Amino acid sequence: MKFRLLSKLIHNPGRVYTRVHVHELCTGPEQRSVDRTIDSHIKNLRKKIARFLSYRGLLDSVYGVGYHFEI
């Protein structure tokens, strides 16, 4: 799931995805429950990115909206 999430964000830099949209992209529309799972995946991806890059702002939160990947 994390790879699909990161892939989607990287291929559309600057585009903001809501938590619901990210959840549907990663799990499909058949699973409609939206919880904090996406937040956990984002947190884990940020940790992994930080291991290799000193710039931590690549995977940003947009307050009240969702997430985006910034180059």
Helices 37-52 & 2-11 angle (0-180, nearest 10): 70
Q: For residue 32, what pLDDT is reported?
A: 60
pTM strictly above 0.85: no
Q: For residue 30, what pLDDT is reported?
A: 65
Domains of the chain with CATH codes? 2-69 (1.10.10.10)
Q: For residue 1, what pLDDT is reported?
A: 72
Q: For residue 16, what pLDDT is reported?
A: 92
Q: What is the pLDDT along the chain (71 residues), one digit of tens a residue?
A: 778 888 888 888 888 988 888 887 777 666 665 567 788 888 888 888 888 877 666 888 888 888 888 87
